[in-house]
Structure 1
Amino acid sequence: MIHAYAAKTIGAALEQFEYDPGVLKDQEVEINVEYCGLCHSDLSMLKNDWGISRYPFVPGHEVVGTIASVGDRVTTLKVGQRVGLGWSSHSCMHCEYCMSGDHNLCLTLEQTIIGRYGGFADKVRAHEEWVIPLPEAVDPAKVGPLFCGGVTVFNPIVQFDVKPTDRVGVIGIGGLGHIALRFLKAWGCDVTAFSTNPNKESEARELGANHFINSRDAKAIESVTNSFDLILSTVNADLDWAIYINALRPKGRLHFVGVVPNPIQAYAFPLIAGQKSISGSPTGSPITIAKMLDFAARHGIEPVTETFDFSQVNEAIAHLEAGKARYRIVLKH
């Protein structure tokens, strides 16, 4: 039996829950969970904001632990190895996207907490291709959030061939944005943080920002017109996107990794005249996650975390829901 924490109905408090996972499939592994991040996506799924949740619902898709057992055909992992598991748990491995290294775009991709029980438990299962060994240099108590929030902001750097000479803006200095600042600084970029909270300037600079702009100050944003090769939006709020499009250089890109609530409004002419782009991306493939972990280990990059015991899971959820998390929450056994 696997012992977990589950919500029985929409938005309910998590309570202890047991389930029988059945026989381990031949290409699956079972992970002894040591730590698991609490992500805003867990909160969205708990409330069924996306209309796809099933109950009982076990959150948790930023898992760190050790391999407890492996299926008969598993060849890449071994018992006792410390690993991580993120948003995705399985992809078909034979479609055009998987075969080209874009496993995260697989049309039959299975998510860790959609249609299955997640990592708020003592054990969790996944197919071997999405279970990534941890470099020795990373701290297992802190690395969990990189498996979702981290790769979400790292993936565009790789996908769009961001160069060390590029000027990059990051909108929002929260759970995603603070990790983006650290990655982009280590990448060598000139980095500007956009935040509605001017009190975050000193912290944003410590995290890696070379410049800081109060995004409530329209004149301040206008002052950086024609400045950025890439602007990465990590927020879940509607903004005046036209002023950010104007802040892009020709061939610049406004890229979304935060889920804004309403349609993105933009005039075509500035996009056409400057050959600019608006785009979005999900998390990342297994190889991108592995590259991110190696890069984080090489540069000593880790998320800023707060730690709660699993027995405090409902307090941790309330802390996140109240907007008090600084900046990612990790649960530990």
Structure 2
Amino acid sequence: MPIATRAFAATAADAPLAPYGFNRRDPGPDDVAIEIKFCGVCHSDLHVVKNDLGGTRYPIVPGHEIAGVVAAVGANVTRFKAGDRVGVGCMVDSCRTCAACLEGEEQYCAPGMTQTYGSADPKGAEVGQTITQGGYSDRITVDQNYVLRIPDSLPLDAAAPLLCAGITTYSPLKEWGVGPGSKVAVIGLGGLGHMAVKLAHAMGAEVTVLSTSDRKKADAERMGAKHFLINSDKAAMKAAGETFDLIINTVSATHEIASHVNLLARDGTMVMLGLTTEGLPVYAMPLLWRRRRIAGSLIGGIRETQEMLNFCAEHGLACDIEVIAPDQINEAYARMEKSDVRYRFVIDMGRLDRAA
């Protein structure tokens, strides 16, 4: 029996998000039905709603930072039961047979992972859905293999953005072996950047934040940064040359990176995390001369995402958030475009009754 679902959706690139009703599928044998309590607001939600990346199909319900409580489970589900605290991140399925999936790297699924919203939805036909719909809604049904357990010590609201902002920064820190003695720089102290600072610090790294101004310096230091560098200060940038083993670049807009390459030590790597749609020029010589690298990273697999949640619980880490009602989402988007959030908006879906 279809599950009536209330949500906020975008119907066009130039239209505000508005109340929207649709049906979720009833949980099948391997499914978990989740009552969504909170959903984080990611900058990529804004990109998709505005069709900045092309290919957005409307109406679209964004949201891939989902925290809630299990409402029901299918007959084959053994890992979860009603009442469990759970999360859903950026994907809800993958092919499960390609090399990436078999290695627990479902985010790099060769045919393409099924994203939490905006992907073709082969399981949605029974309720008239052609694409997946996300977490700006009061419920969701997801295969048990793509559901995460949220540790009891993590508040659900502050845990929600960990399902994207947390894993997106945790994964490259782990992949590039960050630990005691590592020197890590984080470009941009926003939704991703503030978690990169917290996680790198908890892993034992010496952390530096690079920003365009010092207005977030106190926040950076509170989160664990030892140094703060203004990237327009040429003297300071020169003095910091050949310092960092790893630079986590979280900026999601077109920006200059060539000068930042010189901050890398020999064999250092800059990892790009921000969704940029234009080229970012670099020069060969600074790369060649110190065997430096520029790389990319995309969220993490299900196993690694659970590892990240457990790590955050162990170290008392969560996102700095501003909780909003569903009908404040358009105001939140406007503020996000001005970088006016510290550091992640989270929608309280329990307040949907007052909005829809």
TM-score interval (norm. to shorter): over 0.9
Residues 16-56 of structure 1, C-alpha deviations (whole Å, 9 max, x = no match): 21112234333222210001111111111111111121111
Instruction: Report deviation, 1:85.
Output: 0.7
2:230 to 194, 209, 214: 214
**Contact 1:31/1:69 (8 A) holds in 2:** yes
Residues 192-238 of structure 1, C-alpha deviations (whole Å, 9 max, x = no match): 11000122222211111101110111221111111110011011233
CA RMSD of aligned residues (A): 1.5
Gaps of 5+ in 2: 120-131, 351-356
User: What secondary structure does 2:156 align onto?
Assistant: coil
Note if 1:2 corresponds to 2:5: yes
Instruction: Report deviation, 1:286.
Output: 0.9
Equivalent residue for 1:56?
59
When structure 1 is superposed on structure 2, of 18-27 and 97-106 the one drifting more is: 18-27
**Contact 2:65/2:90 (8 A) holds in 1:** yes
Equivalent residue for 1:29?
32
**Contact 2:107/2:299 (8 A) holds in 1:** yes
Q: Cα distance 1:110–1:309, how it changes in 2: closer, same or farther (>3 A)?
A: same
**Contact 1:52/1:114 (8 A) holds in 2:** no
Q: What amino acid maps onto 1:99 in structure 2?
A: L
Following the alignment from structure 1 to structure 2, what is the Cα–Cα distance between the partners of residues 61 and 11?
21
Equivalent residue for 1:112?
116
Q: What does 1:174-189 align with in structure 2 at a 5 Å threshold?
A: 174-189=190-205
Residues 43-86 of structure 1, C-alpha deviations (whole Å, 9 max, x = no match): 11111111121111111111100111223333322222110111
Equivalent residue for 1:317?
333
Equivalent residue for 2:88?
85
Following the alignment from structure 1 to structure 2, what is the Cα–Cα distance between the partners of residues 166 and 185?
10
Residues 163-195 of structure 1, C-alpha deviations (whole Å, 9 max, x = no match): 221101100111111111111111110111100
User: What secondary structure does 1:142 align onto?
Assistant: helix
Following the alignment from structure 1 to structure 2, what is the Cα–Cα distance between the partners of residues 21 and 137?
30
1:242 to 244, 255, 258: 258
TM-score (norm 1): 0.96
Following the alignment from structure 1 to structure 2, what is the Cα–Cα distance between the partners of residues 304 and 197?
20
- Percent identity, aligned pairs only, is 36
User: What secondary structure does 2:253 align onto?
Assistant: coil
Following the alignment from structure 1 to structure 2, what is the Cα–Cα distance between the partners of residues 297 and 48?
35
When structure 1 is superposed on structure 2, of 198-207 and 41-50 the one drifting more is: 198-207
Following the alignment from structure 2 to structure 1, what is the Cα–Cα distance between the partners of residues 280 and 59?
34
1:269 to 278, 285, 296: 285
Following the alignment from structure 1 to structure 2, what is the Cα–Cα distance between the partners of residues 170 and 71?
42
1:167 to 183, 208, 211: 183
Q: Cα distance 1:284–1:276, how it changes in 2: closer, same or farther (>3 A)?
A: same
Q: What amino acid maps onto 2:113 in structure 1?
A: L
Q: Cα distance 1:250–1:150, how it changes in 2: closer, same or farther (>3 A)?
A: same
User: What secondary structure does 2:11 align onto?
Assistant: coil
User: What secondary structure does 1:154 align onto?
Assistant: helix
Following the alignment from structure 1 to structure 2, what is the Cα–Cα distance between the partners of residues 69 and 43?
31
**Contact 1:222/1:243 (8 A) holds in 2:** no
Equivalent residue for 1:147?
163
Equivalent residue for 2:241?
225
Following the alignment from structure 2 to structure 1, what is the Cα–Cα distance between the partners of residues 323 and 203?
28
Residues 70-117 of structure 1, C-alpha deviations (whole Å, 9 max, x = no match): 233333222221101111111122211111121111123011011311
User: What secondary structure does 1:199 align onto?
Assistant: coil
Following the alignment from structure 1 to structure 2, what is the Cα–Cα distance between the partners of residues 317 and 26?
37
Equivalent residue for 2:128?
none
Following the alignment from structure 1 to structure 2, what is the Cα–Cα distance between the partners of residues 135 and 61?
19
Note if 1:97 corresponds to 2:113: no
TM-score (norm 2): 0.90
Residues 228-287 of structure 1, C-alpha deviations (whole Å, 9 max, x = no match): 100110112334322221111111001100123421322223222211111011111111
Instruction: Report deviation, 1:121.
Output: 0.9
When structure 1 is superposed on structure 2, of 234-243 and 173-182 the one drifting more is: 234-243
Q: What does 1:64-79 align with in structure 2 at a 5 Å threshold?
A: 64-79=67-82
**Contact 2:53/2:277 (8 A) holds in 1:** no
Q: What amino acid maps onto 2:307 in structure 1?
A: K
